């Protein structure tokens, strides 16, 4: 079995290259008609950066991506999806085989209750659009997590960032959650920069200051693997 080495502030950790890492990234699109949809500004950059960092550590990486304008990552098995239902189905399928799952995707919370097969004109477009809830994929994964699996969520918030993220950490049965303030114009969805807070059990928290998403991804993965593997030993 091969291995690679991960630097941490405490020690040098040996990571088995047989670790299977599952990552979700990007937005979803919830179609109203063939030319209109509900979505969000997620670029997928954070998820792709984490997939790249996991690949560089020698992990076997599967990336489930919503619609993004990013180049494919060499050495990463990428599966493209579009809607929240598509992403749910693929994540549940892949999750069974994953050791570490990191859900960075910004999944739309709602979808139109009805989808028109034809383009709606200005005159017949509904001014009130009935919606229904999309499945909470992260919560579903939390209920299916087996011993030994690790599950990491992302919380994109605009207020009460730490409090909301810590609540999600507990309610969704996560091992860790990464929180970031998307109300800031210098970071977040479409930016190449991010500043995040990693939260875990027993009031664990660690802040990663504003930096390129590629750097933030490496720091997040380093910290998670350090905590995970130290606990295992």
Q: How many helices (H) and strands (E) does the chain have?
A: 5, 14
* Residue 123 CB partners (closer than 8 Å, separation 6+): none
Q: Is 199 exposed, middle or buried (0-12, 13-18, 19+ CB in 10 A)?
A: buried
**What is the distance between the alpha carbons of residues 183 and 193, in angstroms, rounded to a whole number?**
13
Task: Reply yes or no on whether 40 is catalytic.
Answer: yes
169, two tokens: 């950490």
Among 40, 56, 89, 222, the one annotated catalytic: 40
Q: Which two tokens stand for residue 201?
A: 């059990």
Quickly list DSSP for 19-54: -EEEEEESB--EEEETTEEE-----SHHHHHHHHHH
Do the beta carbons of residue 155 and residue 161 sit within 8 Å?
yes
Catalytic residues: 40
């Amino acid at each position: 079995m091969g291995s690679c080495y991960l630097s941490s502030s405490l020690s040098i950790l040996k990571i088995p290259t047989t670790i299977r890492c599952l990552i979700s990234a990007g937005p979803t699109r919830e179609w109203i008609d063939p030319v209109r949809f509900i979505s969000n500004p997620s670029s997928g950059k954070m998820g792709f950066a984490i997939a790249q960092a996991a690949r560089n550590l020698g992990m076997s990486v599967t990336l489930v991506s919503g619609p993004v304008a990013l180049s494919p990552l060499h050495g990463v098995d990428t599966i493209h999806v579009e809607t929240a239902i598509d992403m749910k189905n693929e994540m549940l399928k892949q999750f069974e085989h994953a050791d570490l799952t990191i859900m960075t995707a910004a999944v739309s919370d709602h979808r139109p209750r009805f989808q028109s097969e034809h383009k709606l004109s200005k005159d017949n477009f509904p001014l009130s659009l009935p919606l229904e809830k999309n499945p909470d994929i992260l919560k579903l994964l939390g209920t299916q997590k087996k011993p030994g699996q690790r599950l990491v969520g992302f919380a994109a918030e605009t207020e009460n960032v730490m409090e909301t993220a810590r609540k999600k950490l507990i309610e969704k049965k996560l091992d860790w959650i990464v929180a970031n303030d998307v109300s800031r114009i210098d970071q977040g969805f479409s930016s190449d920069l991010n500043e995040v807070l990693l939260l875990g059990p027993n009031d664990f928290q660690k802040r990663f200051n504003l930096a390129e998403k590629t750097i933030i991804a490496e720091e997040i993965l380093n910290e998670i693997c350090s905590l995970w593997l130290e606990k295992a030993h």
